[in-house]
Chain A
Amino acid sequence: MAEKTTPAVSLRPSGASLSWRQFKAIVRKDIVMELRTKEMVTSMGIYALLTMVIYQVALSQAGTAFDPRDIAAGLLWLAFVFTSMLGLNRSLVHEKDQGCLEALLLSPVDRPVIFFAKAAGNLVFLLIVQTLTIPVFAFLFLQGREYGGDLWMIPLALLGGAIGIAGVGTLLATMSVNTKGKDFVLAVLFVPLMYPLLLAAVSATSAAVLGGDGYVQQFWSSMALVAAYDVIMLGAAFALYEFVIGA
């Protein structure tokens, strides 16, 4: 916590520490709001739970010989895609309806800081929902199944995917919230843009769940793809956010 001591010394804090404090303030605002209303995590969590029910229906005719581990990673990410679209839309609708986004724009905060703070807030909520969903999913679908890979691989794959979803999703949700179609427009823009990331994240998660021959290699090559996507897309989203939020 070296940051806390520096601002007290000089009256005008340097750019970096000022941006960091603004970043923390916006993230804290989102978290405090969430702690008071508990709206995002509840709605996303219940939505994820409902998805599990639908999975049960979808798999109900598959029989006993079928191994749900084969598609477990895909099902998990499917649930995360839908819940994250719900959450992203909510997170920006709040900002807009309550005039908070305008206040943020009026305040002397750099636009990139707003982007990273909103994305970080969305990332936190997404990670919370993921942490809640995974045990439920394992309990409902993977009981008594042997687990193939290393345990630490799953959180890593989830984090890599969540970073991309939060980054690109924040940019797209900021746009879609200003359109007539709102959540529909978000879905139309979000799903194709997310495709490469989802493919890589599902591959990494699947390697971690299934294990088997060469799963470590499959995991790391998929994670390299996830990392490349995160870097490129976050860079693009960061560069373009200023135009979006100003319009």
Chain B
Amino acid sequence: MRQLKIALVLLLIGGVLTTAAFVMAFTTAEMQRFGTVTVPEPIDTAFPLQQVTEAGYTYERPWFSQKIFYFHVPVAEASFLVFAVAAFFSIRFLMKRRKEFDTKARLAMETAIVFVMLTMITGILWTRAAWGVWWEWEPRLTTYFIMTLMMIGYFVLRNSIEDEERRATYGAVFGIIAFINAPISFFITRLIPSSHPVVFQSGFATSNLIPFILGQIGMLMVGYAIYAIRASEERLEERVDVLKDALEG
């Protein structure tokens, strides 16, 4: 029960932090600029007038879709991290052969898939706004999509095995082998030309960094809370099973 209480507290704090990050992203964070825009008449804007030509008045173009960064990136990094936790518990299971590690690996994988879905949704929205397309077969997007498919495959594999020990072993083996793709997906934008932005290479203003860090910490707390709440639910289920057996036996 103590874990559940901690989880609920963390969920609350995480919720507050991510909401704060969201609000700060639109209020205090410095507006990112994305090229220039030329309009026929002068407009009232916080951005200084760049130049006046025959074509019109040129202003810096504000980049509103960039705001999703404060949600998309924390969620995406949390997804990689929780996937790593799942792989870690998979390795622990193969080493120790204890059921609890298998349960932990599975719950971590469930949590990871929640974050992966959120990353996908926010990513697709941003892609539409920034690139003008919903989807592009671009290295980061492709490897991340493959990672999603592997996580789905993990659960397909598990659901298709009845024997409990075999299910745990196969799940662990596939979890480990699927995780090989995660660092590839993470580093690929830094290795080969990719249209997916690498924000931390281009430098960062403090007013941008603070909401990002808050969002990241908040998202990790939410992640742990999801995991721990599922774990306590799992324990209750096990107790119900034991009681059922005792009553029937």
Is B truly associated with A? yes
Instruction: Give the size category of B's interface with A.
Output: 20 to 34
Which of A176, A181, A193 interacts with B177 by CB under 8 Å?
A193
Task: Please tell me the number of chain A residues within 8 Å of chain B, measured between CB atoms.
Answer: 25
A180 contacts B160, C-beta separation under 8 Å: yes
Complex Cα distance A244/B171, Å? 10
How many angstroms between the C-alpha atoms of A243 and B174 in the bound complex? 11
The answer to whether B94 touches A188 (Cβ under 8 A) is: no
Is residue B98 contacting chain A, with contact meaning CB distance below 8 A?
A: no
Q: Is the beta-carbon distance between A244 and B156 smaller than 8 angstroms?
A: no
CB distance from A158 to the nearest CB of B (A): 23
Q: B152: which A residues are within 8 A, CB to CB?
A: 188
Check if A101 is an interface residue, CB within 8 A of chain B: no
Chain A positions within 8 Å of B173 at CB level: 171, 175, 240, 243-244
Q: Is the CB of A188 within 8 A of B161?
A: no
Which single member of B150, B162, B169, B184 contacts A247 (CB below 8 Å)? B169
A/B interface sample: 27 pairs, CB < 8 A: A171-B177, A178-B166, A178-B170, A179-B157, A180-B160, A180-B161, A181-B156, A189-B150, A189-B153, A189-B156, A189-B157, A189-B174, A191-B149, A192-B178, A193-B181, A195-B142, A195-B146, A232-B180, A233-B177, A240-B94, A243-B169, A243-B172, A243-B173, A244-B169, A246-B169, A247-B165, A247-B166
Contacts A185-B157, A244-B169, A244-B173 supplied; 9 other A-B pairs, CB < 8 Å: A175-B170, A175-B174, A179-B161, A180-B162, A188-B153, A192-B150, A193-B177, A233-B180, A243-B94
Binding site for B on A (CB under 8 A): 168, 171, 175-176, 178-181, 185, 188-189, 191-193, 195-196, 232-233, 236-237, 240, 243-244, 246-247
